[in-house]
Amino acid sequence: MHAGADAGAASWYIQKVIQSAVVPVAGLGTRLLPATKSQPKEMLPVARKPIVQYVVEELVSNGIEQILFVTGRSKGSIENHFDHDPELFQALTQANKQDLLRELEFEALKANFFYTRQRLQRGLGDAILCAENFAGEKPFLVALGDSILGLNAVSRAVSRMADVFDAKRASCVIAVEEVPSEETSHYGIVQPASGADDVFRIVNLVEKPAPKDAPSNLAIAGRYIFSPVIFDMIRRVQPDKRNEIQLTDAIQFMCDEGRRVLAVKLTPEEKRYDIGNFPSYFESFVEFALADPLYGADFRIALERLLAKTPAKV
């Protein structure tokens, strides 16, 4: 199957190769304090929906049906969000609020949800380790709960990744996106084995390199497919200075052992919206709000009025 194949075929295909996804949502989200003091950053809204709802909709539209959330303390609202709320449903039905009832249709998404807890926030690698029993012997997808792919989560990237994982017998496939060369120090950057086409082999991963040290301008973009061998690799990782087990260290072990670690490039339409910091959160919110079918046009006028009143200070 190729990138241009229709959605139905993609869904059928991915179910054959990748049936399950792990969505880590246990992080403390300290860069978004105080907003995240008592609520998960993954529940912050981007325009109309919480971030994690976009993530789940993207996964389901790509044929994933089993989703494990790795949660932590103060993350209960994520579980509630994907649960049916009979009282709310009844109240809206009695009031004949059909438009609002439509906003709850995501409750019927064709997915089974599972939850486990990461007891101590010891980094992304440690969070993935919590999914070992869930994954069993099968390959699985990891989708970061604070990253949306594509405007309104329209993306077939994970279907393409599943295709590559299977066809190339990979151990790991990572979504990557081009970032401005002067911004490499904000990202995990990959080093391609040779050229960097739409699909290429990775030999090294470098965390937040200065532009002069960066091996490329291709950043890890929040979606991964792993064979279960990743769990052994994570167990070998030593905690870093912040006492966190980094997932990139485990992937680096895979590269060092000569395992096939491949990258799939996101298209410009599949841009990653990383909601982990305020500048990116603000920008994402505005972009999604401008694209809102009902309120976008008026919001654009309001924004233009506001911008005319407060010109940028340079």
Residues interacting with ligand UTP, by CB under 6 A?
24-31, 42, 70, 118, 121-124, 126-127, 144-146, 276
Instruction: List the end-to-end C-alpha distance of the chain, in Å, as a whole number.
Output: 49
In this complex, which beta carbon is closest to ligand UTP, that of residue 33 or of residue 210? 33
Nearest-CB residue to ligand UTP? 27
Query: What contacts 16, CB < 8 A, 6 or more positions away?
Result: 166
What are the CA-CA distances from residue 79 to residues 74, 114, 119 (Å)?
11, 9, 17
In this complex, which beta carbon is closest to ligand UTP, that of residue 285 or of residue 295? 285
- Nearest distance, CB of residue 16 and ligand UTP, angstroms: 27
In this complex, which beta carbon is closest to ligand UTP, that of residue 36 or of residue 216? 36
Query: What contacts 11, CB < 8 A, 6 or more positions away?
Result: 61, 62, 63, 159
- Nearest distance, CB of residue 122 and ligand UTP, angstroms: 6
β pairing state of 188-192 and 199-207: antiparallel
- Nearest distance, CB of residue 34 and ligand UTP, angstroms: 12
Please name the residue that has the structure tokens 């290429």: 200
- Nearest distance, CB of residue 109 and ligand UTP, angstroms: 19
What are the CA-CA distances from residue 194 to residues 164, 190, 197, 290 (Å)?
18, 12, 9, 40
- Nearest distance, CB of residue 297 and ligand UTP, angstroms: 32
Kindly give the interhelix angle for 278-290 and 296-309, rounded to the nearest 10 degrees. Answer: 130
- Nearest distance, CB of residue 51 and ligand UTP, angstroms: 9
285, amino acid identity? F
In this complex, which beta carbon is closest to ligand UTP, that of residue 140 or of residue 200? 140
CA–CA gap between residue 51 and residue 96 (Å, rounded): 28
- Nearest distance, CB of residue 296 and ligand UTP, angstroms: 27
| 161: its two tokens | 């990744």
In this complex, which beta carbon is closest to ligand UTP, that of residue 66 or of residue 71? 71
In this complex, which beta carbon is closest to ligand UTP, that of residue 11 or of residue 284? 284
In this complex, which beta carbon is closest to ligand UTP, that of residue 10 or of residue 51? 51
Give the other-Cβ count within 10 Å of 94's Cβ: 8
Please name the residue that has the structure tokens 């890890």: 220
